[in-house]
Amino acid sequence: MRVRAADVQAAMGTLGRLPRSRNEPVILLSRVDLRSLALQGSQLSRSRFRYTNLARSALEGVWLERSDLTAADLRQARLDGAHLAGANLSRASLQKASLRRADLSHADLRGADLSHAALDGTILTRAQADKATVWPAEVDAERRRQLGIIDMGHQSPPHTQVPQK
């Protein structure tokens, strides 16, 4: 699928142009096939795109701050200049995605696959990663430290004690 159906493209374009307010309900589009969608500059902060297929989509300059993109398929997506601060991208597929000059500060990248992704000028300050996160070859441990990425390693959840009867 190279081009998104006109009705889907129009509906998503309308949603992306609506002014957002704190009282507005969250946009829920989990497990939806939105491959090859064009939403440049759209306002979609705090939306849920869990397990959604956005492969090859044109998302330059899109606002997805604090959005949930858990396990989303963003392979070969164009996210140059996108605003993804605080977004949940855990287990997302970002292979060959273009994230040049995108803001991924405070984003959750645990288990994400960023192999062959373009990260020139990408802001990754305080982004969370773990041993399962796959980075482009040029982003080694020292480079991640310089970029301010937090390596969560294999941290286990805190142990909670069961109260005695």
How does DSSP assign 126-149, residue by residue?
T-EE-TT-B--TT--HHHHHHHT-
Question: Is the pLDDT higher at 47 or at 165?
Answer: 47
The dihedral region occupied by 133, where left means phi > 0, alpha psi between -120 and 50, and beta the remainder, is beta
20-24, 61-65, 161-165 — which one is most confidently predicted on average? 61-65
Q: Tokens 């982003």 map to which residue?
A: 139
Q: What is the pLDDT of residue 27?
A: 75
With cut-offs at 50, 70 and 90, classify the pLDDT of residue 29: confident
Contact 69, 51 (CB under 8 A): no
Q: What is the pLDDT of residues 88-140, one digit of tens each?
A: 999 999 999 999 999 999 999 999 999 999 999 999 999 999 999 999 999 99
pLDDT for the residue 111: 98
Q: What pLDDT is recorded for position 22?
A: 60
The single-letter DSSP state of residue 9 is H
Report domain extents, the chain: 1-18+28-152
The answer regarding whether domain 1-18+28-152 maps to CATH 1.10.1740 reads: no
Q: What's the rounded mean pLDDT across residues 27-52?
A: 90
* Bridge partner residues of 128 (DSSP): 108, 150
**pLDDT of 86 higher than 80:** yes
**How much of the chain is in helix, strand and coil states, percent to nearest 5?**
10, 15, 75
The pLDDT value given to residue 1? 40
Range in 4-8, 71-75, 126-130 the model is least confident about: 4-8
Residue 113 has what pLDDT? 98
Rounded-to-integer distance, Cα 42 and Cα 144, Å: 29
Q: Which two tokens stand for residue 84?
A: 């993804």
